[in-house]
Amino acid sequence: MVKMPPDVQETINKQKPIPVATADSDGKPNVVFITFLKVVDDETIYIADNFLNKTRANLDENPRVSIVTYDSENKKSFQVKGRVEIMTDGPVYEEVVAWVHAKSKAMPVKSAVVIRVEEVYNAMHGPDAGKRIV
């Protein structure tokens, strides 16, 4: 795992929804917008699985994910890649349920998707486009 710099964390937490990309075991891509996504610490991101279908199937086959985030105010964009773990019970799952239900009691939570950050890239245009940050 790597540590996300503070500006990456701030950009992720500021943007809603965030595009999340997965791929099945054959490499067929899928991208969805996720609203319940938050940085937990500098190495971990949580996603609440409310209605994930193709995304969840992809993660079951291939536990890798990529997100991209953009801050139009500060002109920053980052791509974050990581490996996921799916949790359907236990303290992390309960924490995600409480987070979601604090915003909407009617919202289902099928699982907690825990992303362990492995790579962070600059996603802005210019000479550093695509450069790995950490």
Q: ∠41-95-105 over CA atoms, to 5°?
A: 125
46-60: average pLDDT = 97
**What is the dotted CATH code of the domain comprising 6-122?**
2.30.110.10
CB 108 within 8 A of CB 96: no
Sorted by where each begins, the domain ranges of the chain are 6-122
pLDDT in tens, 1-25: 899 999 999 999 999 999 999 999 9
| 37-41, strands of its sheet edge to edge | 29-34, 18-23, 64-71, 76-87, 111-122, 44-49, 37-41
What is the predicted pLDDT for the residue at 103? 96
What is the predicted pLDDT for the residue at 1? 87
pLDDT in tens, 72-103: 999 999 999 999 999 999 999 999 999 999 99
101-130: average pLDDT = 97
**% of the chain exceeding 70 in pLDDT:** 100
Whether the per-residue pLDDT at 36 is higher than 90: the answer is: yes
**% of the chain exceeding 90 in pLDDT:** 99
Whether the per-residue pLDDT at 61 is higher than 90: the answer is: yes
